[in-house]
A and B are shown apart, each in its own frame.
Chain A
Amino acid sequence: MSIKDFLKKISSSPGVSGHEEQVARIIAQEFTRYTHEVNMDSLGNVLAFRKGQRTEEKEPIKILVSAHMDEIGLMVSKIEKGGFLRISPLGGIDPRSLLNQEVVVHGQQDLPGVIGAKSPHILDPEEIEKGIKMEKLFIDVGFSEEEVKKRVSVGDPVTINREFMELSGEHVAGKAMDDRAGVALVLKFLQELQYLNHQADVYAVATVQEEVGVRGAIVSAYNIIPHLGIAVDVTHGDMPGVAEYKTSEIEKGTVITTGPNIHPQIYNKLVEIAREYNIPYQEDITPGPTGTDARAFQISREGIATGLVSVPLRYMHTSVELISLKDIHASALLLARFTASLNNDFLEELISCY
């Protein structure tokens, strides 16, 4: 499947934190084509294993490459009179981005719904000035209270109903690009590996529950015990009203992060490979634990050497997250070349550099 088609499919699928089953199945199915074994663990992580080509007897170097498959969303918190549904946030979602949004309530069956918004004719002028609060919002599914109760329960997850959009050039937009774009990148990475020799054993993982505390990453790293853990995620793209140094430019290439969460040698190596193969890249810093799976990898068991490769994304945590497929391709190529370069000497360097 082309990366665009795969991204379209997984971005449109529901999978809020803790409810990733549906999107996990699609991902597992596609990862199977490029790996030797695919498993799911008790939290729901998809763990795909691709064996390296061994040239020596030594224990092979193990690399874990992960992207989280969960998305932010909402949860039904109350069924009100008239059949309207109250909602709670699931992950960091700006209530101001929800007014009159189309949603799918994942109850007994999937129900399309609309988040209500007054018509402007009856709006209080003061209301317009204020950012709407989550507790004022409600979902209308077009059923009476009685009918709603047959289909929906408190605790049911809700996702935004958004069709994947192909924009100018290689730009695409939609919901859950954070981090389905990363998952698509990992697929592309696996596809690229087919054409390269790599000694390293590769674990490609689609993690659960990143948005609520990188939980899938915690257990998958513990389980796999990799030497290297590379998180693949999205990072803030350039946009008006945000300082340039806080963002990365869309379509300017992959983003390689450095900072205390990142092993200096992995960062150096990624930059070196990008230069060597003329892969467009940009650099970014995070001054502490990153908001990615790398946060958990670094402190797994006795500690893991960690890296972070990202795709610039505009409008993060809205339902119109925008990225460029070019950046996905550049990132995948970088990771594949990086993986192919790994050998036991590099493992030595990771310690000796200190």
Chain B
Amino acid sequence: MLLKELSEASGVSGGESEVRRLIKEAVEPYVDELKTDMLGNLIAFKSGSKKAPRLMLSAHMDEVGLIVAGFEESGLIRFSKVGGIDDRVLVSKTVLIGEKKIPGVIGAKAIHLQKPEERKKSLKVEELYIDIGAKSKEEAKKEVKLGDYVSYNTRYQEIGVNYAKGKAFDNRVGCALLIEALKKEYTFPLYGVFTVQEEVGMRGAAVAAYRIRPDLALVIEGTTAADVIELKEESYVTTLGKGPALTFMDTSVICDKKIIETLVELAEKENIPIQFRRFTGANTDAGKISLSREGVRSVVISVPCRYIHNPVNILSLEDVKNTLKLIELFLDKLPEGGKKQAYAND
């Protein structure tokens, strides 16, 4: 699985090129058609032998990050956030800027120089900047351009008992799983879609779904796991190691009940652990896909990830394995039901 490479690649919303290149190379041998659309979505097509049902299996390629917004005379670089980031996690971190991956650091005033009141307040994006070691605005501009995307600088590593840490597991884990799913053969027409700009409003998914006109859609995601000491169990959202998480609803979509039922049955039959996402907030590509054209029955299957949207996330590789199993079972089962019997509007 390509999780390490995908996690370490830079792909902030709107700047997904490196991730797209990696995926293109990985899926090319397995698909009948591969194209990139006007927004940068990568659409892989496996025709199958039958005409229906048309399944859109999708995962977003982009990650949250930063964008270069300005230069100080001193050579320090100002930035804005792309996607949802807690300002506080940016302090004392290293980043990579633009396609050349220029290294930089986000520093903070030394504790010795702070007033006691300062320590009580958090540091906001407006007070932070990136230091690349440039001595002037001119010098900084030689290496970095306005609008360059900035990603966290985090290495992938397996830790603990079958866990992994890295950045952008939301949603490179989805991309890694989708690549795996595309390696198998199916009888129905399958569109494997790697979408752009999910983190800034699911913009890629909207146009991809319109183009593909799927009968049903399955979105693969990385979702919040808050199963940590500071929170109560009812606030965990999901728990690491308890298998793929199914979504009843989030801010953007109410998932198709029939498909969820099928997924639950399959998991039970094959003894795959599953859990339900105990949270109704946050958005996914399913929100846009389900409202595309006349409407599309959609579900979301997620891998639980701790500390998502932060520089370092942790997930369970056991969950990744079980998520792939469930997706593959569902795809195998799909031709049996077909469009008419199980999933279409009667």
Contacts and interface: CB of A to CB of B under 8 A. Distances in A.
B309 A239 contact: no
B87 A96 contact: no
Given A168-B134, A169-B135, A84 B110 contact: no
Nearest to A137: B230
Contacts of A98: 92
B146 interface: no
Contacts of B228: 82, 84, 116, 138, 140
Interface in A109-141: 111-114, 116-123, 128-132, 136, 138, 140-141
B224 A119 contact: yes
A141 B229 contact: no
A130 B87 CA distance: 11
A96 B310 contact: no
B107 A315 contact: yes
B88 A236 contact: no
B131 A322 contact: yes
A162 interface: yes
Contact of A242 (B105, B109, B237): B109
A322 B159 contact: no
B139 A315 contact: no
Contacts of A236: 110, 112-113
Given A116-B230, A165-B105, A168-B132, A317 B159 contact: no
A100 B123 contact: no
Given A130-B120, A142-B159, A251-B135, A316 B103 contact: no
Interface of A: 80-82, 84, 92-94, 96-102, 111-114, 116-123, 128-132, 136, 138, 140-144, 147, 162-163, 165-173, 236, 238-242, 246, 251, 291, 314-320, 322, 324
Interface string B115-131: 00011111100010101
B150 to A, nearest CB: 14
Given A82-B229, A168-B133, A318-B92, A96 B86 contact: no
B89 A241 contact: no
Nearest to A167: B133
B154 interface: yes
B105 A322 contact: yes
A94 B88 contact: no
B248 interface: no
A236 B109 CA distance: 9
Contacts of A113: 159
B307 A319 contact: no
8 contacts: A80-B229, A100-B89, A117-B310, A119-B307, A121-B308, A136-B230, A138-B230, A169-B135
B52 interface: no
Contact of B154 (A102, A129, A143): A102
B235 interface: yes
Most B CB within 10 A of own CB, among A121, A138, A238, A320: A121
Contacts of A170: 133
B316 to A, nearest CB: 8
Given A101-B312, A168-B139, A173-B105, 14 more contacts: A92-B111, A94-B108, A97-B92, A100-B89, A100-B310, A100-B312, A128-B86, A129-B122, A138-B229, A165-B103, A170-B133, A238-B74, A315-B131, A320-B131
A96 B314 contact: no
A96 B123 contact: yes
Interface in B50-74: 72, 74
Contacts of B109: 239, 241-242, 315
Contacts of A111: 159-160
B326 to A, nearest CB: 23
Nearest to A116: B228
A167 B76 contact: no
A116 B235 contact: no
B121 A131 contact: yes
Contact of A121 (B76, B105, B281): B281
Given A142-B314, A315-B108, A320-B105, A167 B132 contact: yes
Contact of A114 (B93, B121, B314): B314
B91 interface: yes
A165 B94 contact: yes
A117 B307 CA distance: 5
Contacts of B131: 167, 173, 314-315, 320, 322
B2 interface: no
A240 B72 contact: yes
Nearest to B152: A100
A143 B160 CA distance: 5
Most B CB within 10 A of own CB, among A84, A96, A165: A96
A101 B121 contact: no
Q: Which 9 A-B pairs have the closest CB atoms?
A: A142-B160, A171-B133, A315-B107, A167-B133, A142-B163, A316-B110, A320-B105, A168-B133, A97-B92
B64 to A, nearest CB: 8
Nearest to B64: A120
Contacts of A122: 224, 226, 235, 237, 279, 281
Nearest to A121: B282
B212 interface: no
Nearest to B283: A121
Given A138-B229, A171-B133, A236-B112, A314 B122 contact: no
